[in-house]
Structures are given as C-alpha cells and as structure tokens.
Amino acid sequence: MVKIIPRVDVVGVGANSVDRVVVLPAAIHALGASGKIPIVERSLMCGGETATLLCACASFGLRAAYVGIVGADPEGRLVRDTLASRGVDVGDLREHPAATRGSVVLVNRETGDRIVLSHRNERRNFERGELPQTRIRSARVVHADDADQQASLAAAGMAASANIPVTSDIDKINDRTEALVAAVTYPIFDGHAPAALTGAADPEQALRKLRRLNSGLLCMTLGAGGAAALEDDHFHLAPAFNVTVVDSTGAGDVFRSGFVYGLLQGWPVPEVLRFANAAAALSCTRLGAIASVPSLADVKNLLA
C-alpha cells in the first residue's frame, strides 16, 4: 500500500538542540580577579535553528513538519516531545546512537546579549539517500539551515525539482556556503555572513555583490538594525522594533519563520520584513529559543 503524505505548509531540514541556558548578572568579560561570576538563573530548554523556526511557524498557524536527527537519549526525547507539543509533525525525526546536540547559552541579564558554546557531532548528519523525498515534496515551502550542508543542498535540489521555494539560514562560512546560497530560492543571511563572503561591510553593497550567486530575493538580518533585502535592483531596509531585550537567543530563527509566514501570505517584501522583525523582537523579550516563540496574535498586536 502506498503511504499518503499529507501536504504541509513548511518542511524544515536542519538542526535541533537542547540548550543549557545560564543567565549571568553581566557580560562574561566582567569576571573578577577570582575568575568567578555568579549564576542568576539556569534552565534546560530546547532550541536549534530549524526546530525553533518550525515551532514558530506552527505558532503562527502554519502546518509544519520536521526532518532531522536526535540522539537516542533523554535529550532526544525532550526535543521530540517539545516539537510535538508545539504542533510540529515529527514523523520524519530520526534517532541516532550519538548524543543529541547540546549548547551552553550564556545570557547577559543587563543587555540580553548571549554567547553560545555549541558542539555538533558530525556523526548526526544525514547519510546520502536518507532524506525523505516524499515528505520534502509535500511542502509549500522548504526551509534548510546550514548545520548539515550536504543534506540542505540535497533537500534544496529535491524541492527545486518540484518547483517548491526554499528558504535558508546562512550563518557559517566554509567551502560549501556559496553552493548553498546558489541552491536556495531565498538566501537569508546572518548579519556577519555577507561581509565575510564579499568583503563589503555595507549591507547593500554586500547583497549586490552576492548577486553573482543568486538572482532572486536576498535577505539579511541586522540585529538591532532590523533587516535588509535586495529585491531585483531595489534595496529594502526595515528597522527593528524597540523592545526590552531579555535574551536574543533564537531571534534569527523566529525572524525566518516570520519571513516564511509572510511569503506564504503573498505579501510584498517590506511587509514580510516588518512582520519578521516584529516576530524576532518579541522573541527577544523572553528567555530561550523555542520557549520564546510568540503567537500570531502577539505579533499582530506589536504591529498594531
């Protein structure tokens, strides 16, 4: 019997994580002569680029499905249970004997800035041919981060062959980054990446130089500066929303979920950026990654 895969709005291929979030009273460089600093608060929370994005998409009312790998350990079960409880389809979440990815997130209570100490076990990458092609082709949009670039390139190829748009998370720079930028429909760069790829510090100049890799809509997050995009020859700059920052962890992932939501609504680029900025801003007012995901009503209230 042929298994029928229900159509979903977004399928995400990429990272998950169990984060040990540690809130400090000041920046880590404020260590005293003793080399010690007190802990204000600590929590165990789920995150990861694509896992957080999908939880936010589900919170906005989109049908979301996750393609990823967790360890066969308590942390892996926590990731699975958290995604499922948030309304994300985890039918294509695989278990691997290696440990689930984990991070230590050091949050400055004064500013909300964070330092992420992360370790990714490359044994938890997808093997060639393991990606569920039918699930990927069931989506209206596919999102692929750059944690497992080989899998993301394969997913982008599957989606492209079915005329499905692909959004991305371009953060780390290595010998496969340019190939991933060229393979996806909507490259969404972390703020540092365009300059690292082009040598141009100015966002507009950097995005224009990246035209050599991708002729479509190019987007980048700018932290407190908001977001920017290059649409054809027109440069868009969308300011950030002014909020009290508690923890910036996951803000970029929530921004990308807002981008996906706006894309599926068929909105013009400025409206997509404004919605995504509002979603990201709200996530900064709460501790954690998935735990900070706002509701659609939250975002609409801020926009209003």
Q: What is the pLDDT of residue 232?
A: 95
Inside any domain, residue 227: yes
Q: Who wins on pLDDT, 153 or 23?
A: 153
User: To 5 degrees, how large is the angle CA 61–CA 263–CA 176?
Assistant: 110
Q: Who wins on pLDDT, 237 or 247?
A: 237
Global pTM value: 0.92
Dist CA 173 CA 20 (whole Å)? 25
Q: Give the total number of structural domains in the chain.
A: 1
Q: What is the pLDDT of residues 199-228, one digit of tens each?
A: 999 999 999 999 999 999 999 999 999 999
Mean pLDDT of 179-204: 96
CATH code, domain with 158: 3.40.1190.20
Give yes or no for a contact between 193 and 173, defined as CB atoms under 8 angstroms apart.
yes
Exposed e or buried b for every residue in 231-248, given b needs 16+ CB within 10 A?
eeeeebebebbeeebbbb
DSSP 151-171: HHHHHHHHHHHTT--EEEEB-
Q: What is the pLDDT of residues 61-89, one digit of tens each?
A: 999 999 999 999 999 999 999 999 999 99
* % of the chain with per-residue pLDDT over 90: 73
Give yes or no for a contact between 281 and 292, defined as CB atoms under 8 angstroms apart.
no
* % of the chain with per-residue pLDDT over 70: 95
Q: Which structural domain range is residue 154 located in?
A: 8-16+48-100+120-303
Inside any domain, residue 125: yes
